[in-house]
Structure 1
Amino acid sequence: MRLRALLDTDALGLKLLGGEDELDRSVRGVMTTDLRDPSRYLSGGELVLSGLAWRRDAADSEPFVRILVQAGVAALAAGEAELGSVPEDLVVACARHRLPLFAVHESVAFATITEHVVRQVSGERAGDLAAVVDRHRRMMTSGPAGGGPDVVLDLLGSDLDLRAWVLSPTGRPVAGPKDAGPALPAEVCGKLAAEHLAATRAGRRAPHRVPLGGTTYSLFPVRGSGHPPATGAAGRAPQAAGPGRDVRETVLSDWLLVVEADAGDWAEERLDLLYGVTQLIAVERDRRDAARTVRRRLAQEVLELVQTGAAPAEIAARLRVAAPVLLPGLGAAPHWQVVVARVEWEDDEAETGPVAQTLLEEILVDPLATGPEHSDRIAVAHTGGEAVALVPLPAVSTEHDGSEAGVLADALLESVREPLSAGLDGDGRVTLGVSAAVHSAEGLRGALEEARHARRVAAARAGRVCAAGHQELASHVLLLPFVPDDVRRAFTARLLDPLRDYDRRHRAELIPTLEAFLDSDGSWTRCATRLHLHVNTLRYRVGRIEQLTGRDLSRLEDKLDFFLALRMS
């Protein structure tokens, strides 16, 4: 801001005592001091506020003013509260060194002046940065030279001292500033994504402010052009998905901009700037979506061949065509895994395949991967309400110790359960199924059916976000998804409700004991060791289980019934 603007605000109580010809100087900040020599704390361009406690006699004014001028300050504002008026010797010294001098009325606090100047300076810097953001947007729109959202996040840090990150709906970091301190911890990212999805489903107006670990974060939604909202005042996007649009169409796919600051009392200019940044990031989101078009089409072609029973040789030929796109730089023919996902909403007949497709592409991105984005090696198609991913594995499907490599259902579930559950908000479900790895086109049809059946096993479980892998398709589990819900509930209640009621009244832990006993294959010693119990205590608990249920845990049939009831509960 200019010095001249300080005189336009009556509430500041400033009176110009000298330096009329210097009022076009720029003010970069404010410093309050009563030190005789404050030079070590000055960097130039400040409005210096002083109560004159440094002045003992008239001889002190000249050296004080000389120090300020040498430091390059913009002006001096002297308070009248201490001496009743600004001493003439100070007026003369400032005139000699051409330093603008203001008198501050005793009724005005220095904090009032500081707050006003900082707010104005921040607004000016935000306006300058907004122009930079606009230029960057045009560069990204017209060609590949923009540099991505990281550049704008760096500008937010350097010009407005704002640390900011872009997160996916599952909490995966998409972009962040360089050299801005430690990255956001994964746990924080997941919680912020969950808060964003929950606020979006609840229809709360952005930015969403989230206190977390002593820090307040402000969350701004990033919406791509595939689902553009109308703009509100000052170009700001409204918070709803738009007239006639259902927020569930995009809630599981929108990115979010996280700013490490409380935007609750921000000026309109700064809020508008941040919404401009979200529009710029949306351009990058659209660019990445466009880059996936070829991979999606290849996956769709392969899926259609597999589903229609095409010859393995024809499928293999199509995979060879797809390999340069799906496996850039890897060369060798991979093994393949199939992952199936479905998004379902209660009382909703709309097709959810495209939503599941976008979400599955996001879920399968490895958050620890470096170099080219991991999703560049994933092709996701959709058919009806189902998304199907072909995941190439350049390595063998099992390690030397027999452990499973590639995509694991439990790992997928762990990374996305918390945020997605918040976005589903009680009326939606996401279910995932993962096949074993296959090493040829002949195995893809079986892998697809295996992944689909694993997803049905996941759907038979309780919870908003569920996943199952091929390891869980044992013979007894294969039957569970096809048992009617009311039959499953009745069977489970008949066996387990007496134990739950007893645990609730006596805190006897009969259910955990039953689970451990079955997991230990009925071994008293192993089970007692696992539960840190004496064997006699374990025998008492098992006896109580048998008494309450009328079953005998030495009989294979009763063990199997309990096992199935626990799996279905």
Structure 2
Amino acid sequence: MRLRALLDTDALGLRLLGGEDELDRSVRGVMTTDLRDPSRYLSGGELVLTGLAWRRDAHDSEPFVRLLVQAGVAALAAGEAELGDVPDDLVLACSRHRLPLFAVHESVAFASITEHVVRQVSGERAGDLAAVVDRHRRMMTSGPAGGGPDVVLDLLGSDLDLRAWVLSPTGRLIAGSKLGGPALPAEICAGLAAEHLAAARTGRRGPHRVPLAGTTYSLFPIRSSGRSPQAARDVRESVLSDWLLAVEADAGDWPEERLDLLQGVTQLIAVERDRRDAARTVRRRLAQEVLELVQTGAAPAEIAARLRVAAPVLLPGLGAAPHWQVVVARVEWEGDEVEGGPVAQSLLEEILVDPLATGPEPSDRIAVAHTGDEAIALVPLPAMAAEHDGSEPGLLADALLQTVREPLSAGLNDDGRLTLGVSAAVHSAEGLRGALEEARHARRVAAARPGRVCAAGHQELASHVLLLPFVPDDVRRAFTARLLDPLKDYDRRHRAELIPTLEAFLDCDGSWTRCATRLHLHVNTLRYRVGRIEQLTGRDLSRLEDKLDFFLALRMS
């Protein structure tokens, strides 16, 4: 397809702003983006559609266009819905770099342009594909309620009698046809995701035919709309982040027209996938900014100010300031040819979604940054009740991997590992550095275990481990705060003297009589205080291990 053909299509309503001499360029794909740097998702030959959300001032146009030209895109099309006319600085930058530039009228949906290009690039389709795409375009542009992958899946069911589902790489159900039949069970979703990842690691082309629980499914990979199957240097760069389309049918005997139809559907869904990925940019940037402040030793007040900015974005409408947890993940491949950080980032964003949640939106409250081969998530928790009751708030390491271990192990195959560490919840900026080090140390504990997918939580940083010389001071402080802060808070509010009582009880080797005598208390009063200590901390002062933990915490405080 040539760029000139886009101008000849009246329905698209495109207006050429520059690049008249370059209209014979070929278009090999289409990508919608508002990222400031989308180059990693481009493979060359794309028509790039943008709403200009990346542009803050006139100085942003030159670097954006330069990145597109370096990636080898065919042309740029800028929407007029947000800013009205396309800014002159963008026109000049495109002219300077000889990049054809189109203006997209506000009445024209990017989905219409995308579907037109997909149809033309893929060649002539059978009549059913044209009908599905056209109906999908109308429904996608009719209003907010009409959008999303569910629309095209419903059309597959009604027009072609095909039941289909969109799944994440961990097997989470993102979308599915609502037209008849039972819901796809979670164990089937996990099994299909595992089969898809295992097949993808072999490099075989889709669709992959999978018999499971007496039914045959055909699995189609959903790749970024701007990335061809050959775009990634290594399949491991994307295998743990691509969605898949699972169709309840055996595609082995399908005609080319029907296979073409499903490939077109995956491209339509990929456009929505890319849009939602771009929407994560703000949350990722917030996490990156907080992480940089924490790691550079910024003042707690500065970190707290940044957290106050992050809280309304991640937990809109929340009245009280939240507590925070830190989760650290690392994806490592044998040979070190593949950078693990971006893979771990997209994977951690998926893992942190509630496994029972459906749809593509639940990750809107998850902020994940990456540095080197490590991904770091800043997870907000609604403020805990003023009274500590000894329960463990927030995320638990084992629960995070419970439903995703099977598919991820298949994707990691024999040459990859995922290790994950979870901190305790902290309620202030002062505790965030300790939480980060605690999560990192817990991840190292997980890395010492056998298996492709392993996790460890802060509960597993036992007191005897804290005595080792290589354990960071921040981890020791976090351990001490987690154990003693509930008691200090209670003493501050009630003047109950639980900390002095605990110190005396341990100093008297747990003797009720000697301790009561030393504190000038009745034994029943002492028993009440010790019971309150156990209730607030979830520990048992009759156990040697818990006594040792308290002893070390008091010594390190």
TM-score bracket, normalised by the shorter chain, equals 0.5 to 0.7
Q: 1:475 to 1:271 in 2, by over 3 A?
A: same
Q: CA deviation at 1:448?
A: 0.5
Q: CA deviation at 1:128?
A: 2.7
CA RMSD of aligned residues (A): 23.8
Q: CA deviation at 1:543?
A: 38
Q: CA deviation at 1:178?
A: 1.9
Asked whether the equivalents of residues 321 and 382 of structure 2 are also in contact (C-alpha less than 8 Å), the reply is yes
Asked whether the equivalents of residues 366 and 378 of structure 2 are also in contact (C-alpha less than 8 Å), the reply is yes
CA displacement 1:12-63 (0-9 Å, x = unmatched): 9999999999999999999999999999999999999999999999999999
Asked whether the equivalents of residues 207 and 218 of structure 1 are also in contact (C-alpha less than 8 Å), the reply is yes
Q: After alignment, is 93-102 or 359-368 more displaced?
A: 93-102
Q: 1:565 to 1:125 in 2, by over 3 A?
A: farther
Q: CA deviation at 1:107?
A: 59
Q: State yes or no: 1:170 paired with 2:161.
A: no
Q: CA deviation at 1:129?
A: 4.0
Q: After alignment, is 329-338 or 90-99 more displaced?
A: 90-99
Q: 1:407 to 1:239 in 2, by over 3 A?
A: same
1:56-455 matched pairs, under 5 angstroms: 127-133=127-133, 136=136, 147-225=147-225, 241=232, 245-369=233-357, 373-396=361-384, 402-455=390-443
CA separation in 2, counterparts of 1:240 and 1:33? 17
CA displacement 1:139-178 (0-9 Å, x = unmatched): 8699968511100000011111111000000000011112
Q: After alignment, is 186-195 or 8-17 more displaced?
A: 8-17
CA displacement 1:238-272 (0-9 Å, x = unmatched): 5895xxx2000000000000001111111111111
Higher RCO (C-alpha 8 Å, min separation 6): 2
Q: CA deviation at 1:405?
A: 2.7
CA displacement 1:515-559 (0-9 Å, x = unmatched): 999999999999999999999999999999999999999999999
Asked whether the equivalents of residues 119 and 125 of structure 2 are also in contact (C-alpha less than 8 Å), the reply is no
Q: How much identity, in percent, do the aligned residues show?
A: 91
Asked whether the equivalents of residues 431 and 478 of structure 2 are also in contact (C-alpha less than 8 Å), the reply is no
Q: CA deviation at 1:504?
A: 58
CA displacement 1:374-401 (0-9 Å, x = unmatched): 3111110111111100000114289976
Q: CA deviation at 1:442?
A: 1.1
Q: CA deviation at 1:127?
A: 2.4
Q: 1:449 to 1:489 in 2, by over 3 A?
A: closer
Q: State yes or no: 1:7 paired with 2:14.
A: no
Asked whether the equivalents of residues 118 and 267 of structure 2 are also in contact (C-alpha less than 8 Å), the reply is no
Q: CA deviation at 1:403?
A: 3.0
Q: After alignment, is 42-51 or 159-168 more displaced?
A: 42-51
Q: 1:95 to 1:216 in 2, by over 3 A?
A: farther
Q: After alignment, is 463-472 or 520-529 more displaced?
A: 520-529
Q: After alignment, is 108-117 or 463-472 more displaced?
A: 108-117
CA separation in 1, counterparts of 2:175 and 2:339? 31
Q: After alignment, is 147-156 or 128-137 more displaced?
A: 128-137
- The structure number with the bigger radius of gyration is 1
CA separation in 2, counterparts of 1:290 and 1:60? 18
CA displacement 1:412-450 (0-9 Å, x = unmatched): 121211101100110001110000001111111110000
Asked whether the equivalents of residues 31 and 47 of structure 2 are also in contact (C-alpha less than 8 Å), the reply is yes
Query: SS state of the match for residue 27, structure 1?
Result: coil
Q: 1:539 to 1:204 in 2, by over 3 A?
A: farther
- Number of the residue aligned with 1:31: 31
Asked whether the equivalents of residues 164 and 258 of structure 1 are also in contact (C-alpha less than 8 Å), the reply is yes
Unaligned runs of 5+ in 1: 227-235
CA displacement 1:193-214 (0-9 Å, x = unmatched): 0000000001122111111111
Q: CA deviation at 1:567?
A: 27
Asked whether the equivalents of residues 18 and 101 of structure 1 are also in contact (C-alpha less than 8 Å), the reply is yes
Q: CA deviation at 1:562?
A: 24
Q: 1:356 to 1:106 in 2, by over 3 A?
A: closer
TM-score, structure 2 as length reference:
0.60
Asked whether the equivalents of residues 173 and 358 of structure 2 are also in contact (C-alpha less than 8 Å), the reply is no
Q: 1:361 to 1:203 in 2, by over 3 A?
A: same
Q: CA deviation at 1:220?
A: 0.4
CA displacement 1:289-308 (0-9 Å, x = unmatched): 01110111111101100111
CA separation in 2, counterparts of 1:89 and 1:347? 45
Q: 1:431 to 1:529 in 2, by over 3 A?
A: farther
Q: 1:355 to 1:102 in 2, by over 3 A?
A: closer
TM-score, structure 1 as length reference:
0.59
Query: SS state of the match for residue 124, structure 2?
Result: helix
Asked whether the equivalents of residues 437 and 474 of structure 2 are also in contact (C-alpha less than 8 Å), the reply is no
Q: Number of residues paired by the alignment?
A: 557
CA separation in 1, counterparts of 2:363 and 2:35? 59
Q: 1:531 to 1:4 in 2, by over 3 A?
A: farther
